[in-house]
Amino acid sequence: MGSCFSAETDSPLPNGANSKCSRKDGNGTSGSSSRVSSVSVVPRTEGEILLGSNIKSFSFNGLKTATRNFRPDSVLGEGGFGCVFKGWIDEHTYAPARPGTGMVIAVKRLNQESLQGHLEWLTEIKHLGQLYHPNLVKLIGYCLEDDHRLLVYEFMPKGSLENHLFRTGASYIQPLSWTIRMKVALGAAKGLAYLHSDKAKVIYRDFKTSNILLDLFWGCSPRNVKR
């Protein structure tokens, strides 16, 4: 897998709002933002999150430990939503793990000053918590505690397609062979086709190289619909 869509979606929300989402902040993480219009209610409690999925509820202290207190050198990317941090958790218990052990995750932390950011955060959970596909970056869980809003995604170790095509990161980033480019393009197309299918019913409106993340095998999987 390897491609993550930071997606924009048009689909009805349970409270009668229309959501337009865009997602993933560039790393090998996910950081997206959703824009919601015509909102009549601003959900503020965990009970108002659609939990009909297998996403996990994390504690803030647990994610703080997993990311080594959100250290600056753990930052994978930054966008309008906030920063995305690299962290480690036990793959079975999801408890914080020592760096270099367990499962690597990408933790997106919402900028606490934005009301609109909370709506984007909530929209992302509602959509991604119900969508599963090999070409979508997986939403593992979330944290809603006091004023803290965080999202936990699978980590995409090769970063964004943009970085590899234009070498916008460090000079050590590898250029892509044409074979890998075609593989990534096919994976992205499969993810996009799934989102636009009758099953997902998502209109992805932010399809670009910075929103396609790559795994170790240079796959393209949008398990992440950042709407």
**Domain for residue 163, yes or no?**
yes
**Domain for residue 197, yes or no?**
yes
| Low-confidence winner among 19-33, 78-92, 195-209 (lowest mean pLDDT) | 19-33
Strand positions, DSSP E, the chain: 11-12, 18-22, 33-37, 56-57, 75-78, 82-89, 103-110, 139-145, 148-154
Domain CATH number, residue 80: 3.30.200.20
| Low-confidence winner among 7-11, 26-30, 91-95, 122-126 (lowest mean pLDDT) | 7-11
**Domain for residue 204, yes or no?**
yes
**Domain for residue 172, yes or no?**
yes
Q: Which three-class secondary structure state does DSSP give residue 162?
A: helix
**Domain for residue 2, yes or no?**
no
Please give the pLDDT value at position 219: 55
Mean pLDDT value of segment 146-166: 90
The yes-or-no verdict on residue 83 having pLDDT over 50 is yes
Tens of pLDDT, residues 66-76: 999 999 999 99
Tens of pLDDT, residues 120-152: 788 788 778 888 899 999 999 999 998 899 999
**Domain for residue 217, yes or no?**
no
pLDDT band per the 50, 70, 90 thresholds, residue 53: low
> What is d(CA 129, CA 168) in angstroms, rounded to the nearest whole number?
31
**Domain for residue 186, yes or no?**
yes
| Low-confidence winner among 18-27, 112-121, 122-131, 171-180 (lowest mean pLDDT) | 18-27
Domain limits at 76?
11-211
Question: Any idea which residues carry the catalytic annotation?
Answer: 206
Our count of domains for the chain comes to 1
| Low-confidence winner among 4-8, 150-154, 155-159 (lowest mean pLDDT) | 4-8
Tens of pLDDT, residues 196-222: 999 888 888 888 998 899 988 755 544
**Domain for residue 171, yes or no?**
yes
Strand partners, 109: 83, 150
